[in-house]
Amino acid sequence: MKLEGRTALITGSSRGVGQQIAMGLAELGAKIIVHGRRTENIDQTIDMLGKYDVEVFRVEGDLSVNTHISKITGQIVDKFGGVDILYNNAAIMSSFEENIWEHSLEAWEKTFRVNLYALYFMCSAFIPGMIRRGYGRVINLTSGIKDQPELAPYSASKAAVDKLTQDIAVKLENTGVRINILDPGWLKTDMGGPNAWYDVGEVLPGALVPALIEDDGPNGKLFSAIELKDTKL
């Protein structure tokens, strides 16, 4: 129970990678805040978490909508005062079939609102409290995607996530808060598709490693869940 007493928010944890991370953190004893856009998907994750003896809280909202983000963060602060662990996992991606020259402005804007802007607002809502308390772990999910011009809005947003994470890391030196980047690998999820290289369950235990580092551990660095899949927690 290495994370007993810690509170963890995993955005986009109603399915896929986020759902796996939520279960892995629960097994380590963390209180879990499940987030999703749809009630029925959140219900499924909460049912799956029932086998763990941890507190579970739910928040619902569309991360492309600013008022939803404010509502989510406000509910969490009211309930817990903040979080100790933040996985910015939620993301959207356009279709593989779209032409690189035909992405609409609306598609670009929504992708960046969910994949980058919401991530920033989650960080700004919770990192100051982590600094005051002297402890925090922020894990921003990135992608190893390359040579896929049809997915330009997604890949560009993930490149921006990497840069933003490295910039925020500078502000966290000499604190007990660490922020890092996690590449989950190409996984068989709704986003990754059926031809992906790995089953979604293979994201564990590697995805949990950046939540377990020491207060003076890596900061602004890249972790690969697949490369760490043989880690003993």
- 30 touches 85 (CB < 8 A): yes
**Pick from 82, 85, 80: nearest CA to 11:** 85
Answer for the pair 25, 48: CB distance below 8 angstroms, yes or no. no
Helices (H), 134-182: 152-171
* Residues classed as catalytic: 154
Helices (H) and strands (E) in the chain — how many of each? 6, 9
Beta bridge partners, 9, equal: 33, 86
What is the full DSSP assignment across 140-152? EE-----S-GGGH
Cα–chain-centroid distance for residue 135? 18
Shortest CA distance to 177 belongs to which of 140, 127, 221? 127
Q: Look up residue 207 and give its two tokens.
A: 């995805």
3-state secondary structure 15-53: CHHHHHHHHHHHHCCCEEEEEECCHHHHHHHHHHHHHCC
